[in-house]
Structure formats: C-alpha cells, structure tokens
Amino acid sequence: MRKLLMLFLIAITVVTSACSQQDQPKKEDNLVFVEGGTFKSSKSYYAGKGVTFQNFYIGKYEVSQKEWEDVMGNNPSGFKGDQLPVEMVSWYDAVEYCNQRSIKEGLKPYYNIDKDTQDLNNKNDNDNIKWTVTINEGTNGYRLPTEAEWEYAASGGQESKNYTYSGSNNADEVAWYWKNAGDKILTGDWNWPAIESNKTKTKSIGTQKPNELGIYDMSGNVREWCWDWYSDAESQISSFRVVKGGGWIGGVNNNEIAFRGKFDANGFGPDQGLRVVRGE
C-alpha cells in the first residue's frame, strides 16, 4: 500500500510539472529568459522613467533566414544564407511572421491582423498598406518587442553592466556595422562607395560576443522592428514604427542601446530584420 501511494505521488508530481511547463518555450526555441524589474542601466532612453517589466522571453538571435523560410515558405533576403538574419522584411511582414510561427507551434496568435480595414491612426502618406493590427491580450504567441522591452533586454536586464552597446563599450566586440562587416576594417567617415567595394553585408547570427543575458546581435547586423509607433516630444503623430539596434550599413552611434530609429511600416531594406518575444 505504501509503495502504491509513493508511485501515485510521483505520478502526480510528473503530471503537475508537465502542465506547468507546457506553455514554456522549449530549449531548442532559442529563447532567453529575461527577469522582470526596472532598468539597472543608465544608458537606456527609458532609464529613470519608472518603467517596470514582467518576466518575458526574447530571441537569443535575430530571426534567421532558415527560421523565416520554415514558417513563411519564402526568403525575401538580399544576402542569402540559412544562418544569416532575414532582411528585406517590412513591419507588416514581421507581425505576420509572428502569427504564422505561433500557429505552426500550436500557440495562440498574439495579433489580430485586419487587412481590409485601414488604420486611421497611421498618418504616413508613404504607407499604402495600413493594415489595422491589434493585440490579443494574454495570449502565448510570438510578438515583436516593445521598444522599452528591447532596450531592457539589450542592456542586460537585471544583469546589466551599464554598457553603451549591447554587451560591451566596444562596438567592434558585439556589433556588425559599416566599418567591420566587410572584407577589411574601414576607417574614416561613413562612405557608401567604400562600403560597397568592401563587400559589406550581414553576418551569420551569433558570431559576435553576446550581452550579459547571452543574447546576440542586439547591436548591429540588422535593425530590428519593434511594436511601437515612433514618437517624441515634438511629434505625437503616428507615422513610423520604431527600429532598434542599428545594422551593417549604419554608423556606430546607431548601435547604441538608447539610439531610437524609425522606419515606414511598409518599408524594407537589406539591413531590416526582426527578433521575437514571448510572454512567460
């Protein structure tokens, strides 16, 4: 009887453990756990503004071309390679990817995407798409990070060492940008002919030093879409979506954690990619 009771308790423990873990990302998903809290870093745009986070998971790497193709069935990138970050994707492409990946993995999509109703909040005259995209609160699907979440993770969260770039004060240790992403190291001022002749391009994900949380390429390689509309003290008009981290074309200042980039939601380029987030 005692042996049967022990077996029953073990079975209950196993079932309980499995249930508690069923919504957690699997190790092979390449997601990094980010403990919630407030900013430890003073180098963030949001530092000292009282922003608080719940726990979340963020991609260890930028979404690769293989990951994109496995979900979307195509590869829009200009530079081809399974382990290169996907690029040439718009913000609309990015939210579609998040939903399609969620569906493929049996998760509930995070976004409602209405392609037939134009978003009246979108004031960008260059954007001919303007889908209305809203959030399914409390769902477990993939999504884009908010700008604040992106900076929190890039700065190392609760493990932050207050670096200027994600993982270092030396951009060349952690970021691929115009000076070091080609055949040789360039010097001087930003110069497109020099960049082009140097065969500057994206690099395989995870080949530079990670940040304090073990996340790669949050500075450099490709700019990463965020959920937010771009706004500042001078303008509250919803015209651009936020992009973060800089890319292989950009200057070193674009790699700074606090640098705030913006781009048309329907825009795409050879330095424009994404990274995904999931709730706990």
Q: Please write the tens of the pLDDT for every residue from 183-228.
A: 999 999 999 999 999 999 999 999 999 999 999 999 999 999 999 9
Each domain of the chain, given as residue ranges in start order, spans: 32-279
The token pair at 230 is: 């771009």
Residue ranges of the chain whose pLDDT lies below 70: 1-29, 232-237
Give residue 56's pLDDT: 97
> What whole-number distance in Å separates Cα of residue 172 and Cα of residue 1?
66
pLDDT score, position 238: 81
User: Which pLDDT score, from 0 to 100, does residue 20 have?
Assistant: 38
Cα distance between residue 280 and residue 277, in whole Å: 10
Q: What is the pTM of this model?
A: 0.89
Q: What is the pLDDT of residue 138?
A: 87
pLDDT of residue 115: 97
Mean pLDDT score across all residues of the chain: 90
Domain formed by 32-279, architecture: Alpha-Beta Complex (3.90)
Which pLDDT score, from 0 to 100, does residue 10 have? 38
DSSP the chain: -HHHHHHHHHHHHHHHHHHHHTTSPPGGG-EEEE--EE---SSSTTTTS--EE--EEEESSPPBHHHHHHHHS----SS--TTSBP-S--HHHHHHHHHHHHHHTT---SEEEEEEEE-TT---TT-S--EEEEE-TT--S-BPPPHHHHHHHHTTGGG----SBTTBS-HHHH---TTTSSSS---SS--HHHHHHTT-----TT-S---TTS---SSSSSEEEEEEEP--SS------EEEES--SSS-GGGGSTT--EEE-TT---TTEE---EEE-
* Rounded to 5°, angle at Cα 96 from 98 and 167: 45
Beta-carbon neighbour count of residue 98 at 10 Å? 27
Which pLDDT value is given to residue 231?
A: 81
Closest by CA position to 227, among listed 169, 151, 162: 151
Distance (Å, whole) CA 241 – CA 105: 27
